[in-house]
Amino acid sequence: MREYNQFYINGEWVDPVTAKSLDVINPANESVCGHIAIGSGKDVDNAVAAARTAFVSFGQTSREERIALLEAIIAAYQNNWNDLAAAVTEEMGAPTQLSTAAQVGSGFGHFKTALNVLKGYEFEETMGNSQVVKEPIGVCGLITPWNWPLNQIACKVAPAIATGCTMILKPSEVAPLSAYIFSKIMHEAGVPAGVYNMINGDGPGVGTSMSSHRDIDMMSFTGSTRAGTLVAQNAAPSVKRVTQELGGKSANIMLDDVDVEAAVARSVMTMFTNTGQSCNAPSRLLVPAAKMDQVAAVAGKVAESVVVGDPTAEGTTMGPVVSDVQFNKIQDLIQKGIDEGATLVTGGTGKPEGINAGYFVKPTIFADVDNNMTIAREEIFGPVLTILPYNSVDEAIAIANDTPYGLAGYIQGDDAEQINYVARRIRAGNININGKSGDQNTPFGGFKQSGNGREWGEHGFSDYLEVKAISGL
């Protein structure tokens, strides 16, 4: 049992102003695996005061000082790799292999990338008769989700450190264990007091206090579109910068010349990675209408090869979804797909055969889906793939864009000219072709209700910087 009943503020582990705790549930067995303290507005005030004081000096540090600090964080992160992986598996159910490689590895990669970017980043340039300098924006509020906990923490904390900002992190209260270990890493690395602060809490108690706080200069939020709009509304009176990485309902267009077996296998396994709990998951597979039956048959066969079970067991390829709330939401949406007339290829409601405990969902495939159906419109955030037919490439593009979201798009085909035609017309921030995605230098973010701003790599520095023009020197 993990007991994480303190917050990290001003370089110390401190008790919350008001004692209040929350159970952390292991989604693989529904048992209580830990307790965390839940903060309040007064805890936020204390953390903001520490960050504001620390910014006076940290905002003036040299590039070399911040390089040394990032190197120390990277070393401490490596020393705690296995502890981080175990925490991710316990808190949100990712299979051990996924936690060890992708979940922990992505966080590590963002720090390595930020270090490399910082070494050559141009903070000053001459434009006309002015010197244009980029300075740290100040105190940053960082709110992160449960689905890729370390990836989202690192892609915010790393550029904040690199640019000279100070910060308050509120990790998800659903999966907070790895954030606590991450905070220990920051302490071990010698991050100056007040530069990095961490408070556990829920949205109403801590998230609202952060986004409305007049001494926080910038909010970076990753999560649902509903919650992201609340952050923006709360931040508006203080005119702080708000960046958001929100929901998605990404289209995956299979062109007519593609190898169906290979493309479908790749599509299904990508969709089921992390139990479908990724905002950029390719959840709408668009296929030529004449190939619907063939695609559905292949997709069903691939889905049935997925090994669902204990995330700590060898051979498991898909664990549970994170909570009972998510489980019930997904069950309702699967039932809506059935009720609205989509063809259930495999999966469906209920838990997989032989599993009685844990929030496990059957890998589910729907075919003959219309883009007006609920399962094609709403972000399911679970292992549910919808297959939609199209009759022309332009119709496929129209279907892909017929969504309030615009985070990612996927294209599979052999004709480079046609692929480029489609890629330029999909209204989304990231386009992945034939299974190839960007690396951690690639800007990540979306169009429309998928958010604003960009994270990762050099583009990830921009939102943490203010631009100042000095003329007449």
- Looking at the annotation, which residues are catalytic? 245, 279
Residue linked to tokens 């035609």: 421
CA–CA gap between residue 151 and residue 462 (Å, rounded): 18
The amino acid at residue 457 is G
Contact 337, 359 (CB under 8 A): no
Contact 204, 212 (CB under 8 A): no
Q: Record the tokens describing residue 94, joined without a space.
A: 């990712």
CA–CA gap between residue 460 and residue 85 (Å, rounded): 25
Residue linked to tokens 């008790």: 15
Contact 34, 3 (CB under 8 A): yes
Q: Quickly count: other Cβ atoms within 10 Å of residue 341's Cβ.
A: 11
Crossing angle (nearest 10°) for helices 177-188 and 63-79: 130
Q: State in Å, rounded, how far the first CA of the chain is from the last one.
A: 61
Contact 193, 164 (CB under 8 A): no
Long-range contacts of 205-208 (CB under 8 A, 24+ apart): 205/38, 205/39, 205/40, 205/41, 206/38, 206/39, 206/40, 206/41, 206/43, 206/44, 206/170, 207/143, 207/170, 207/231, 208/234
The amino acid at residue 21 is S
Please, which residues have CB within 8 angstroms of residue 120's CB and are 6 or more apart in sequence?
A: none
DSSP label at 101? I
